Amino acid sequence: MSHLLQKPVQTELSTGVTLVHNVTTQQSPLEYVGFKVIDLAPGATYTESLEKTECCIVAVTGKINVTEGSESFKHLGTRDNVFEKVPTDSVYVSNNKTFTVEGETNARVALCYSPSDKQLPTVLIPAAEVGVEHRGILSNKRMVHNILPDSDPRANSLLVVEVFTESGNWSSYPPHKHDQDNLPDESFLEETYYHEMNPPQGFVFQRVYTDDRSIDETMAVENGDVVIVPAGYHPVGVPDGYESYYLNVMAGPTRIWKFHNDPDHEWILSRQP
């Protein structure tokens, strides 16, 4: 199996708290992005003290309560299943703070991290403020929920988006990369993909490749898997009959998403509907 593909685990951290994914900068090729998925049972709590790291807590499914110091956000989360395709609630917490997430119902929570030394206010990013964007034509149609886009200054490094790709379509496509710290032409952003499929026995294909092919991995990705993108192009293809969801976390030295399309495939963008 590719070292860029991570399968879900079921590690019980405490009663009612299960760790499903843990991508750290120590145990992955990533320097700027960390990512966890935890499942919470009703009433179970998960507490974490952030050191030189910021975190965006995403209520993927179910309902949660989040507290940080005197800040308390109740009844977060808008969906039982991501394929309801409605935006969800998130909370941004900056470095050197301690937060607690409590399951109000059974809940799946994504914790998106990036190193940071800039203290910023803890903020709720309510579902109603999440920008919904429809991109692409023909078999390149997808819908994006912009949870923390680069136009939102509330984070230091983190960028967080959700992407829904229709059956038989492609997203993160035509292939693009953002692995050169060469603004204004391209930014350097590492990335993680947390995938789900509907129905859940589905799979998608994700290729991660660089121009020199020093990375060239094509992965069969199943429900709940994480793909790590340290560099390179990273298109996703969705088989007929299945819908795809993924949560992207990106971070790098500069908080700008400036990508570069693979010149071999850029012509895709010039087609007419």
Contacting residues toward ligand LN3RO5KU, per CB under 6 A = 135, 142, 144, 161, 163, 171-172, 178, 191, 234, 248, 259
Q: Which is nearer to ligand LN3RO5KU, 46 or 193 (CB)?
A: 193
Tokens of 252: 């790098």
The CA distance from 170 to 41, in Å, is 34
Shortest Cβ distance from residue 148 to ligand LN3RO5KU (Å)? 12
Find the shortest distance in angstroms from Cβ 256 to ligand LN3RO5KU: 12
Nearer to ligand LN3RO5KU, 207 or 234 (CB): 234
Q: Residue 96 or residue 261: which is nearer to ligand LN3RO5KU going by CB?
A: 261
For residue 153, what are its two tokens? 């200054």
**Burial of residue 27, with CB atoms counted within 10 A of its CB: 0-12 exposed, 13-18 middle, 19 or more buried:** exposed
Going by C-beta distance under 8 Å and a sequence separation of 6 or more, which residues neighbour residue 129? none
Give the nearer residue to ligand LN3RO5KU in terms of CB position, either 92 or 245.
245
Instruction: State the nearest-atom distance from the C-beta of 67 to ligand LN3RO5KU, in Å.
Output: 30
Residue 170 CB, shortest distance to ligand LN3RO5KU, in Å, is 8
Close Cβ partners of 126 (under 8 Å, ≥ 6 residues apart):
89
Task: State how far the alpha carbon of 33 is from the alpha carbons of 97, 112, 129, 191, in Å.
Answer: 18, 8, 24, 7
Q: Which is nearer to ligand LN3RO5KU, 205 or 259 (CB)?
A: 259
Among residues 92, 149, 160, the alpha carbon closest in space to that of 120 is found at 92
**Cα dihedral 82, 88, 89, 91 sign:** positive
CB 195, min distance to ligand LN3RO5KU, A: 12
- Strands 216-222 and 123-125 come out as unpaired
Measured in whole angstroms, how far is the alpha carbon of residue 154 from the centre of its chain? 17
Q: How far is the CB of 272 from ligand LN3RO5KU (least distance, A)?
A: 19
Give the nearest distance from C-beta 40 to ligand LN3RO5KU in angstroms. Answer: 26
Q: Please, which residues have CB within 8 angstroms of residue 263's CB and are 6 or more apart in sequence?
A: none
**Residue (16 or 149) nearer to ligand LN3RO5KU, CB:** 149
Of 63 and 234, which CB lies nearer to ligand LN3RO5KU in the complex structure?
A: 234
